[in-house]
Amino acid sequence: MRPIAFGLLASLILSTAAGQPAAAPPPAGSLSPELRALYVDLHQTPELSLHEEKTAAKMADRLHRLGFDVTTGVGGTGVVGVLRNGSGPTVMLRTELDALPVAEKTGLPYASRVHTKNDDGADVPVMHACGHDVHMTCWVGTAEAMAASKANWRGALVLIAQPAEERAMGAKAMLAAGLFTKFPKPDFVIALHDTPVLASGTVGYTSGPALSSADSVDVTIFGRGGHGAHPEATIDPIVIAARTVLALQTAVSRETNPLDPAIITVGSIHGGAKHNIIPDEVKLQITVRAFRPEVRDHLLAAIERITKAEAQAAGAPKDPEVRVVESCRATFNDPKLTARVAAALRRRLGDKNVFEVPPETASEDFSEYSLAGVPSVIFRLGATEPRRFEHARASGESLPSLHSSFFAPDPEATIRAGIDSETAVLLDLLGKP
């Protein structure tokens, strides 16, 4: 998941949860030693997007043991497991395989110490800083529960382990490889994602627009370099870039309806190498967020228009180069399915542990399954130890966000609630007529 605006989201969810108990004890008791060991193993051995070979093999092996018909290498390292159990609906449950290039600083005894080469050949640390190790462990525990309770449901259960979620590539790759044509096409798709701004043992759901789109845009602004003592002999791309960064915000503040969420954030700016040298070019990296496709399209067009206009105003030798390098579209939770999911969660976890939460300007390529025409819901899984959650709510402390080197979920209660939640939803959707 590609997060942003953590502080606002935390305040909204914490205020939603105000006055409620942080969590009830997980309904089904403690995790098995095998699941605990799996979680620790996954946490200690993370793999980057598109390189999840060993992680995928672990997921495939678990499904094989449970009697699933397993296919590997779907859309890269993707895994598809199918468990057929008579006539009935088909439901797909997704987890993610990949980790992030983050150096873990949690201090946990099982902290990741993995370093590897990224696709550019640089040595990088690797960490499950987004909780995909939690998701995978829940997924395996849910597979075990569903395989053991076949007397209580009918239909086809399709479990997928998706690569490259963090790069917004895996869902498209699996769909292009025939996920909905070579395997039973689902009637519903379900997923969860952990969050540090709900207590472990609780879950949150959002009906309708749930997660924003996200586009990563690379911009190169060209100038004419020279000596910093003679700026009149140059066309300074740093000055053009500075004006561009500020002008881009008018696409949000003056061109977009204030009631339509929209974000343009310049996350990095690089140019020059020495105090007294004006460089030939400056590079910007931009993230763009929106919920409505029309807003997204307008923001991307505005970036092209504004960067070009600022360069022309400065007499730049050529127009900037603007490239969208990663994209995922907004996630929409089907309202009818969301209502059914929320009811199943309340029955399992209790009303006080299930919250309706606001949309987020984080993003997910889970959106691709809904856009392929299948009703889909992703819900939120609380991951913060309840006493720490209560302290943060009382003190205003900011908890480590997803993608933070300090993010450390409360594993036992979080995973147990995840398994209970997924199993409850699947049994409801696959229950005997």
Positions marked active-site: 98, 165
Report yes or no: 174 and 162 within 8 Å, Cβ to Cβ.
Answer: yes
Structure token pair of residue 7: 């502080």
For helices 33-44 and 53-65, angle between their N-to-C axes, nearest 10 degrees:
160
Report yes or no: 382 and 203 within 8 Å, Cβ to Cβ.
Answer: yes
Sign of the dihedral defined by the CA atoms of residues 206, 337, 99, 104, in that order: positive
Report yes or no: 97 and 56 within 8 Å, Cβ to Cβ.
Answer: yes
Q: How many residues does the chain have?
A: 433
How many Å apart are CA 10 and CA 14, to the nearest integer? Answer: 6
Q: What is the β-pairing status of strands 90-96 and 155-162?
A: parallel
Alpha helices in 51-186 (DSSP H): 53-65, 132-148, 170-176
Amino acid (1-letter code) at residue 311: A
Query: SS3 for 245?
Result: helix
Element spanning 250, H or E: helix 250-253
How many Å apart are CA 325 and CA 287, to the nearest integer? Answer: 10
Contacts (Cβ under 8 Å, ≥6 apart) of 184: 82, 84, 90, 156, 158
Sign of the dihedral defined by the CA atoms of residues 368, 137, 362, 209, in that order: positive
Measured between its terminal Cα atoms, the distance across the chain in Å is: 36
Contacts 24+ apart (CB under 8 A), 105-114: 105/405, 105/406, 106/405, 106/406, 106/407, 106/408, 108/43, 108/408, 110/40, 110/43, 110/44, 111/43, 111/44, 112/43, 112/44, 112/45, 112/46, 113/44, 114/44, 114/45, 114/46
How many Å apart are CA 321 and CA 415, to the nearest integer? Answer: 45
Contacts (Cβ under 8 Å, ≥6 apart) of 347: 424
